[in-house]
A and B are shown apart, each in its own frame.
Chain A
Amino acid sequence: MIEIDRLTKRYGATLVVEDVSFNVEEGTLTVVVGTSGAGKSTLLRMINRLVEPSAGRVLIDGEDTRTIPEDELRHRIGYVIQGYGLFPHRNVADNIATVPRLLRWDRKRIAQRVEELLDLFQLDPAEFAHKFPHELSGGQQQRVGVARALAARPALLLMDEPFGALDAVIRSKAQDDLIAIQRRLGATIVLVTHDMNEAFHLGDRIAVMDQARLLQYATPAELLMRPADDFVERLVGTVERPFRLLSLTPVREALEAGHAEGEPIAASESLHDALSRLLWTGRKALPVADSSGAIIGRVSVDKILQHGRPLP
C-alpha cells in the first residue's frame, strides 16, 4: 500500500501542493486528475522524490521513502512520462533493459525479461527488439515506455500523462491495453491526467486536485453521485453525468429474466454500450450472454435508464 501523508511542496511563497493525503491500495489504479497547474505532476514527482517534499511523507508498504537512497527508490518505482523519453541511441531491447542493467541482473535474466515484456505488449521480439525508437510509431513508443518502466517488477508504477502524445483512436486502445495489463500483473499504478474521460475510463479511484489542494478522493461512482463541491461537480460534467454512470455499470447489474430478439451483448460490457446498441437498433431490449456465450437473460431500456440516475 502507498500512503501519501500530508504532502506539501512550496516554492518560495507559492504552494504547489498543499497538505495532500490519500492511500493507494495494492493492485489498484488511482488517477490524479485536475486542471493544468493544479499540482498533479509535482505530487507524482514527490512520490519518487524527483521533487523533494517541503513537508509530509510517502510510505510504501509502511517504509518511509526518505529512508531509502534516491536512486534505489527509483529503481523500485516505474516512471512513465508524456513523450516517454526513450533513449534514442538504444534499441527497444536495450531501452527496456535499462533498470535491470542498473541493478546488475545477469545477461540471461535480462534477455528473458525483455522477451516476456515484448510479448506482453504485443511487440514481436524478432521484429522489434533491435529497432530504434525513431523507427517506431507513437503507439509502439508508448508501449516500449511502459514496458521499460515495468522491467524490474516495480512495486509501484507512476505515469504522468502517458497517453498525452497519442491521437484519439490509438489512445483509447492504449488505455484498454493498460487496464488489461494492470489487471493481469496486479500492478499498483498512480496516473496523472487532465482528461476527465480518461480518469473515468481508467481509475479504480480518482483524486481530484485544484489549486494545490486535494478536493475529493473517491471511486468514480461516488464522484458522480456525491461530488464534494461545485468544482468537482463542474469537472465531472453535469451533462455527461448519467452517461458516465452508465459506462461504469456492467450489464449484469441490470439483468432481468425474459426473452429478447437480436444479437446478444456480453454481461461484462457496460450499460452505456448496451444503451447505445439499443438506440441504434431501435429495440426495447437485448439478450445478454455470459462469458461462454450462453444467453442468461435480457437487458431493457427502462432498466438501463434506472441506473442512469442517483439512487434516492
Chain B
Amino acid sequence: MTATSLVRLIAFLLLAAFITMPQGFAFLFEPLIAPGAPAIYNQGSLLVLTLQHLRTVCLATIASTVLAVALGIFVTRPSGAEFLPLSRSLVNIGQTFPPIAVLAIAVPLVGFGEKPTFIALFLYGLLPIFENTLTGLTQVSPLALEAARGMGMNARQRLVQVELPLALPVILAGIRLSVIISLGTATIGSTVAAKGLGEVIIAGLQSNNIAFVLQGGLVVALLAVLIHDGLGLVERVAARKLGRFLNEVP
C-alpha cells in the first residue's frame, strides 16, 4: 500500500468514526468550550446530517451535469454554434449571482427547506461543467474526427463513440470542481432550513460554541478532500486509457 492510499484510508476511517460515534472525540473539543456547554453537537445525528448534505449536493450536481453537458454538446454542433455566446452568458450569470442572493430570491417562490438550496447549488455548479465540456469537445483531435467521418460514422455515432469518450476526462474534472464548490456552498442552505452540515455550524455561531463550528467545518472539509481525491482517481482511470493528462490530474 502506498503512502497516499494510506493517508486516504486514515482520513476516511477518521471521518466515519467521527460521524458515527462523535462522543468518542469529546475530549478533543472540551478545551475549546465554556464550562457546562456541550462539547459535541447534540441537536441531531451527525451521520444523518452528513447524508442529507451529500444528498443535496449529489442531486444538484446531477442536475447541473445533465444540463451543462447537454448544453455543451448542443453549442458544439453546427446547428447550435450560434447559441454559444448566449449560453456562455447565461451560465456565467449562474456563477456570478451569489448563492446567498439566490436563496433569498428562491425562498418566497419555493418555500423554505431543501428546494432553494438545490436551486442555488444547481446554478452555481453549471459553469465549471459547461466550460469543461466545451473544452473537452473542442480539443478532440481533428484527425480522429476526420477518420471517423471517412469511415462512415454519422453525427450521432461520432459524438457517442469518439467525441464524448475523448472529452470524458475533462468533463469529469469539471464535475469534480462543481462538487467541491457545492459541498462548501451547501452549508449556507441551513440558513433557509435545509438539512445539512450547515446546521452544526450555525448552531455553534448562535450559542457561541466554537466546538460546534469546528465540527461542522471539519466534516465538510474532510468530505471535500476525500471526494476530490476519489473523483480524481476516476479521472485518472479515464485519462490513462488515452495516454495523456497523466500528470495534469492532481
Instruction: List the interface of chain A (C-beta within 8 A of B).
Output: 48, 50, 70-75, 79, 81, 83-89, 98-99, 102, 132-135, 148-149
Contacts and interface: CB of A to CB of B under 8 A. Distances in A.
- The interface centre, meaning the residue of A50, A70, A83, A135 with most chain B CB atoms within 10 A of its CB, is A83
A97 B157 CA distance: 14
A74 B144 contact: no
Given A86-B144, A87-B162, A88-B144, A81 B242 contact: no
Contacts of A87: 144, 147-148, 161-162, 166
A79 B151 contact: yes
Nearest to A88: B242
B243 A135 contact: yes
A85 B152 contact: no
A73 B154 CA distance: 12
A61 B52 CA distance: 67
B147 A75 contact: no
Nearest to B164: A89
Interface in B135-151: 141, 143-151
Contact of B152 (A71, A86, A132): A71
Given A48-B150, A88-B166, A98-B153, 8 more contacts: A71-B153, A74-B150, A79-B150, A81-B150, A83-B143, A84-B143, A89-B165, A102-B152
Given A88-B243, A89-B165, A81 B143 contact: yes
B243 A74 contact: no
Contacts of A79: 147, 150-151
Given A71-B154, A81-B143, A83-B143, A89 B149 contact: no
Given A71-B154, A74-B152, A98-B151, A85 B143 contact: yes
Contacts of A84: 143, 147
B146 A73 contact: no
Nearest to A82: B143
Contacts of A102: 151-153, 157
A73 B244 contact: no
B242 A89 contact: yes
Nearest to A70: B152
B159 to A, nearest CB: 13
Contacts of B143: 81, 83-85
Interface of B: 141, 143-154, 157, 161-162, 165-166, 241-244
A205 B147 CA distance: 26
Contacts of B154: 71
Nearest to A135: B243
Contacts of B148: 85, 87
A98 B150 CA distance: 11
Contacts of A85: 141, 143-148, 150
Contacts of B241: 89, 132
B209 to A, nearest CB: 52
Contacts of A71: 152-154
B143 to A, nearest CB: 4
Contacts of B161: 87
B152 A75 contact: yes
A99 B152 contact: yes
B62 to A, nearest CB: 24
7 contacts: A75-B152, A84-B147, A85-B141, A88-B144, A102-B157, A134-B243, A149-B151
A149 B152 CA distance: 11
Given A71-B153, A87-B162, A102-B153, A81 B243 contact: no
Nearest to B162: A87
Given A89-B166, A134-B243, A81 B152 contact: no
Contacts of A134: 242-244
A70 B150 CA distance: 10
Most chain B Cβ neighbours within 10 Å, of A70, A102, A149: A102
Given A86-B144, A88-B141, A89-B165, A50 B150 contact: yes
A50 B152 CA distance: 10
A48 B146 CA distance: 12
Nearest to B241: A89
Contacts of A86: 144, 147
Nearest to A99: B151
B149 A50 contact: yes
Q: Which of A75, A89, A135, A148 has the most CB of B within 10 A?
A: A89
Nearest to B142: A85
